[in-house]
Amino acid sequence: ETGVTQSPTHLIKTRGQQVTLRCSSQSGHNTVSWYQQALGQGPQFIFQYYREEENGRGNFPPRFSGLQFPNYSSELNVNALELDDSALYLCASSLGPGLAVFGPGTRLTVT
Amino acid sequence: SQQGEEDPQALSIQEGENATMNCSYKTSINNLQWYRQNSGRGLVHLILIRSNEREKHSGRLRVTLDTSKKSSSLLITASRAADTASYFCATVDSYGQNFVFGPGTRLSVLP
């Protein structure tokens, strides 16, 4: 049984660019959630996908979008990057409420 | 705004001492969980306590939950240098859709 994996581990982008982050959920998990964690803060919920449909969204603008694929893996896309988007992006997969497994995260730096 | 608030924000103790962290939250919950994070890496699940439980133990960890006061505490006994990390409480609301994290407690255990 593999855990949650994320790619890339880290990347650097320029303001205004677009970025795609990827997450492979744990085997058998059908729900994926994405979180943004700014330096020194707790993770903030971005959105959740359940069986390829968005199933809840936090207080993030529409330039944050996502996808979930039939194998339950997921992507987080961020358009028009801003400096404040620099953060650790965490993916979590789960089978039910409150039973999530977190990935190691992708560190995004926007310059 | 974040639901959970950890207290203290930072804690420094000597190896062998006990560390106590507190968490307060605002709304009704299904369960409360504690996570550890080392140096901006992924979150590691420590312990889950359900809303109908008052205390739970796991190894050197002891968690209490007081739903009347909307608060929880995490006690780490006989701390080790390897316990140095940030600790977060996370709540799952009655809808079970996502986690709401506090800002975390940064624990430093000095050898």
Helices first, then strands: H and E counts in chain A: 0, 11
What rounded mean pLDDT belongs to chain A? 92
**pLDDT score, position A97:** 61
Q: What number is the average pLDDT over the span A98-106? A: 87
How far does chain A reach from its first CA to its final CA, in angstroms? Answer: 37
Q: What number is the average pLDDT over the span A52-68? A: 94
- Under a CB-based contact definition with an 8 Å cutoff, are residues A56 and B99 in contact? no
Closest-CA distance, B69 to chain A, in angstroms, reads 21
Q: Is pLDDT above 80 for A78? A: yes
- What's the rounded Cα separation, in Å, for the pair B48 and B28? 16
A40: exposed, middle or buried (C-beta count within 10 Å: 0-12, 13-18, 19+)? exposed
Q: Tell me the two tokens of residue A102.
A: 């977190």
**pLDDT score, position B4:** 63
When mean pLDDT is compared across A62-66, A76-80, A87-91, B38-42, the lowest value belongs to B38-42
Q: Which of A5, A34, A36, A37 should one mutate to test binding to chain B, selecting the residue with the greatest count of B CBs within 10 A?
A: A37
- Under a CB-based contact definition with an 8 Å cutoff, are residues A11 and A109 in contact? yes
DSSP letter (8 states) at residue B51? T
DSSP bridge partners of B100: B91
Q: Is pLDDT above 50 for A51? A: yes
- Residue contact A92–B99, C-beta within 8 A: yes
**pLDDT score, position A99:** 72
Residues 20-79 in B contacting A (C-alpha not used; CB under 8 Å): 30-31, 33, 35, 40-45, 48
pLDDT tens for each residue of chain B, 111 residues long: 445 677 888 999 999 999 999 999 988 888 899 999 998 788 999 999 999 999 999 999 999 999 999 999 999 999 999 999 999 999 876 566 688 898 899 999 999
Q: Is pLDDT above 80 for A98? A: no
Residue B68 φ then ψ, to 5°: -70, -30
Q: Residue A42: which of B44, B45, B102 has the nearest Cβ? A: B102
**pLDDT score, position B1:** 40
